[in-house]
């Protein structure tokens, strides 16, 4: 199975564009850094799940999605 590399979405320009689109305001550097850390944590959970045994894979996938989504929501709320 081929993996799609979505790491470009972790870049500060991509995150700033998404936050600006969602909130209509320009995020500051701290808000972008916070969102980047949430994206990184979610991606690390996801990467761990790829190599994890079947018994723990669902939990890692759940937390990868939850971490990224909650981080994006909090970062969007902070920039509003």
Provide the pLDDT confidence category of residue 43 given band limits of 50, 70 and 90.
Answer: confident
Q: Round the average pLDDT of the chain to a whole number and report it.
A: 75
Q: pTM (2 decimals)? A: 0.59
Average pLDDT of the residues in 19-44: 84
Domain boundaries, the chain: 28-79
- Tell me the C-alpha to C-alpha distance, in Å, between residue 38 and each of 18, 32, 62, 68, 77: 14, 10, 14, 6, 14
If we measure between CA atoms, which residue out of 52, 43, 47 comes closest to residue 10? 43
């Amino acid at each position: 199975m081929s993996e799609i590399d979505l790491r470009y979405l972790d870049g500060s320009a991509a995150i700033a564009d998404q936050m600006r689109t969602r909130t209509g305001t320009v995020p500051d550097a701290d808000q972008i850094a916070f969102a980047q850390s949430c994206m990184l944590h979610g991606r690390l959970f996801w990467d761990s799940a790829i190599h994890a045994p079947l018994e723990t894979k669902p939990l890692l996938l759940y937390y990868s999605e939850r971490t990224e989504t909650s981080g994006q929501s909090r970062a969007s709320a902070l920039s509003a």
